Amino acid sequence: MKQGFGEVPSRLDPLTGKRVVVTRAEGQSVQLVAMLREAGAVPIVFPTISIAPLEDISKLDAALQNLNLYDWISQECSGPNAGTWYPANRV
């Protein structure tokens, strides 16, 4: 949008007509896509990750039982998907 003298630019102008690739997991991008559309962007939904429970958690169980054997631990899953991959009652 062209602005004349004294016009206040909209906070949404920078996204108008811009294509934005949304790579969140399927079903987790609805709110972001809606916000992008509202801001004038053209969202392109392209999930690059799938969140699913583990089919076999025996190796993870074994690792958790032997935490004293590890020098360091990195917890990468603390967001809304944390309970998806490992049942809370097993931790």
- Mean confidence (pLDDT) of the chain: 78
Q: What is the pLDDT of residue 12?
A: 46
pLDDT at position 1, please? 46
Asked if 56 and 77 touch (Cβ cutoff 8 Å), the reply is no
Q: Token pair of 72, please?
A: 């360091």
Residue 72 confidence (pLDDT) above 60: yes
Q: What DSSP letter does each residue of the chain carry, written as one string? A: ----TTPPPPTTGGGTT-EEEE-SPTTS-HHHHHHHHHTT-EEEE---------S--HHHHHHHHTGGG-S-------STTHHHHS-GGG-
pLDDT at 55 over 70: yes
